[in-house]
Amino acid sequence: MSERLQISVLGELQVLTNGETVSLPPSRKTRALIAYLAILARPQRRDHLCEMFWDFPTIPEPRFAGASARSDPSSITRAASVSRPTGTR
């Protein structure tokens, strides 16, 4: 049986898998990323997403070494995990 994913971006962001609410990350940037990807509904380059949401490229450079964990592009990975069924990677 296939999973059914529903994403509502009007009002407060809501993600449902098979009718059950998915717990979303607390980060506003991660939630914005989920909404952005849902609206576009097509693959996006990681470097484009990093520049758009974090103002720096994917490949770490020395000047970004001090970036806080809250602004880390690993939010892309966390955002992707929202749409995965429990127990998969």
* Every domain of the chain and the residues it spans: 5-82
Over range 41-64, report the average pLDDT.
Answer: 74
Q: At what angle do helices 28-40 and 46-54 cross, to 10 degrees?
A: 130
- What global pTM score does this model have? 0.63
What tens digit of pLDDT does each residue of 1-16 get? 688 999 999 999 999 9
Per DSSP (E only), the strands in 1-89 are 5-8, 14-17, 20-21
Contact 33, 44 (CB under 8 A): no
SS3 (DSSP) at 20 = strand
CB neighbours of 82 closer than 8 A, spacing ≥ 6?
15, 22, 24, 25, 34
Topology of domain 5-82, CATH: Arc Repressor Mutant, subunit A (1.10.10)
Q: Which residue has the tokens 């429990």?
A: 86
For the chain, what percent of residues have pLDDT higher than 90? 36
